[in-house]
Structure 1
Amino acid sequence: MELLKIEEVAKRTGLTKRAIRYYEDFGLISAPERTQGGIRLYSEEDIEKINKIILAKEVLGFSLAELQQYLEFQTIIEQQKSEYRTTEDREARRSKLIEMSQVLQKEKMMIDLKLTRMAQFQEELIEFEQRVLKAIDQLHE
């Protein structure tokens, strides 16, 4: 497995080295392996996780705290999936599915809240634009 220095990770993700270190300090990504000299070394998995964070931040507009919660939900779901696959007991499998469903509902609620806020913001912009266009029309009269 090839490990990459932070400079290469920054190039591949579009983040600054400082942002990558901040994500680590904030707990969004795990502390990477280090050389004896203390140089951070990142795996492809680390890069994938960073790219997921970037996508959630850009597309969903999540704050860092919301990203942290979102990633915690993702971890819980992965654990539940793994436990679901490894158990044969029908009731235990049902329980895992219910737990996954509950976490997914929480994730959907986070996204719904963001969408509601975005819709409100868009409505304000539309109203302001209409007032500006009306003012322009009045100046032409």
Structure 2
Amino acid sequence: MKQFKIDDVAKETGLTKRTIRYYEEIGLIKPPERSEKGTRLYTEEDIERLKKVIAAREVLGFSLQELQQFLTLKETIEAHHRDYRNATDKEQKQQELKEIAAGVREQIDMLEQKMKKMLEWKKELKQLHEKIQAILEEQ
């Protein structure tokens, strides 16, 4: 498995080394392995996760707290999926699925709110653009 130093990860993601370390500190990415000299060694998976964090932050407008909630929910779902087949208590399975479903619904609702706000902004910008075009055409 190929490993990357923080400088390489920074170049690949466009993040600063400080930001990468901060994301590690707040739990957006797991702490990477370290070399014998203590150098952080990241994997392709770490880089892909950082790219998803960047996309969620930039494109979807997620706050860092929202990102943490989303990633925690995703990890919970993945862990539940692994453990689901081995669990014998049907009621416990059902309860866990209900909790996961509620978390997913919460994420969907949050995205819908963000999309609604984005559409409102878009509408305002279009109206402003139309006004500017009308003024330009009058001249």
TM-score normalised over the length of structure 1: 0.82
Are 2:124 and 1:130 equivalent residues in the alignment? Answer: no
Aligned partners of 2:32 and 2:42 also within 8 Å: yes
Q: What is the deviation of 1:64?
A: 2.2
Cα distance per residue 1:84-117 (max 9 Å; x no partner): 2321333333223222211110110121121011
* Structure 1 counterpart of 2:46: 46
* Structure 1 counterpart of 2:58: 58
Aligned partners of 1:27 and 1:68 also within 8 Å: yes
The alignment partner of 1:3 has SS state of: coil
The gaps in structure 1 that reach 5 residues or longer are: none
Are 2:91 and 1:96 equivalent residues in the alignment? Answer: no
Instruction: Give me the whole-angstrom Cα distance separating, in 2, the residues matched to 1:93 and 1:22.
Output: 35
Instruction: Give me the whole-angstrom Cα distance separating, in 2, the residues matched to 1:85 and 1:102.
Output: 21
List structure 1 runs of 4+ shifted beyond 3 angstroms.
none
The gaps in structure 2 that reach 5 residues or longer are: none
Paired residue type of 2:116: T
- Aligned residue pairs: how many? 139
Paired residue type of 2:4: L
Cα distance per residue 1:71-96 (max 9 Å; x no partner): 22222222332332321333333223
% identical equivalent positions: 43
Instruction: Give me the whole-angstrom Cα distance separating, in 2, the residues matched to 1:20 and 1:57.
Output: 14
Aligned partners of 2:73 and 2:100 also within 8 Å: no
TM-score normalised over the length of structure 2: 0.83
- Root-mean-square deviation (CA), in Å? 2.0
